[in-house]
Amino acid sequence: MAKITSVKPSRKRAKATRAAITAVHGYVPPDVLTNAELAKLVDTSDAWITERTGIKERHILKGEGLGTSHMGAEAVRGLLQKTGTPPKEVDLLICATTTPDFVFPSTANLICDMVGIRNIGSFDVQAACSGFIYAVAIATQFVENGGAKKVVVVGADKMSAILDYSDRATCVLFGDGAGAVMIEPSPNGHGIRDVLIRADGAGMPHLHQKAGGSRLPPSADTVAKRLHFVHQEGAAVYKFAVARMAEISMEVMLRNKLNPEKVDWLVPHQANKRIIEATAERMGLPMDRVMITINKYGNTTAATIPLCLWDYEPRLKEGDRMLFAAFGGGFTWAGAYVTWGYDAP
């Protein structure tokens, strides 16, 4: 029988239940694209990319017929295995992605099918690089309301599918990857304490993909004009990113009466190391309390935050106070205050 994932608040649980991230897993494809290799494709150098972005290499998904769902499914499979969760116990799966396999059906639907999860609600969230925090915000509501007990949130993107490898200012920044977390009622009081999501559609001209949607459907002309790739005005995005990342982090700190000494980890979206450093500086946080994976993965869009959590999981302790912060195309931005639920496994 199909499960019912309800949004109706349960009076009994409404106040008492806190949602928590109880496990994390990640996946990056085996093929690595180094700065030196990119320098053979476009007029750039390892020195320029390292100095201006902090990126040394990124992973690229290769293989015919493999899309974002492939990486998402790998991350979810690992998550279910690690937690000993049978697929039938999952109540809801949300996938944050900007590079869905298809316009429809959703990548979340495909991931469910690939890992054997059936008859539950599953859908995609499209908020570019802020998508993971947006999806966490939705999952938190379901868990707090008692509508779902086990929610899988995936952030996954195959950016290499929409990058113009002749545009040196953009193609060096991104990589492919996926991360997944389990969100459940907290067993010990730690968990997701605050989530903020924001958007300003006026940012569209600076970061978008021109063709392929309903406004400009694919045609021989759109392909010839290279309109299916990421269009980015780097300097405008950079300015926005620094301002909004710092602003949302400060807002979350203020709302939760946190000062820099009380923040164990900043978990920032990984778009450019200089943006991350500027955010940490404005927050008054030293860089040894900031998660960094951009050097090896680049910007994996919706996957950066869960990939950070996966990478740093061995160093995390129950009760660690974390701030998530992201920004992305849209423009979108988002922040969260989380106390980590468990010691390193």
Ligand X SMILES: CC(C)(COP(=O)(O)OP(=O)(O)OC[C@H]1O[C@@H](n2cnc3c(N)ncnc32)[C@H](O)[C@@H]1OP(=O)(O)O)[C@@H](O)C(=O)NCCC(=O)NCCS
**Closest distance of CB 240 from ligand X, Å:** 9
Give the tokens for residue 303: 């996957």
**Whole-number Å distance between alpha carbons of 22 and 282:** 30
**Closest distance of CB 128 from ligand X, Å:** 6
Q: Which helix (H) or strand (E) holds 273?
A: helix 273-283
Establish whether the linkage from the previous residue to 331 is cis, with ω within 30° of 0: yes
Amino acid at 258: L
Interface residues with ligand X (CB under 6 A)?
A: 44, 48-49, 52-53, 129, 168-169, 172-173, 232, 234-235, 237-238, 241, 271-272, 299, 328
**Closest distance of CB 323 from ligand X, Å:** 18
Q: Which residues are catalytic?
A: 129, 269, 299
Residue 278: count of CB within 10 angstroms of its CB: 17
DSSP secondary structure string for all residues of 305-325: HHHHHHHHGGG--TT-EEEEE
Cβ-contact 151, 94 below 8 angstroms: yes
What are the C-alpha distances in Å from 41 to residues 172, 213, 306?
10, 28, 30
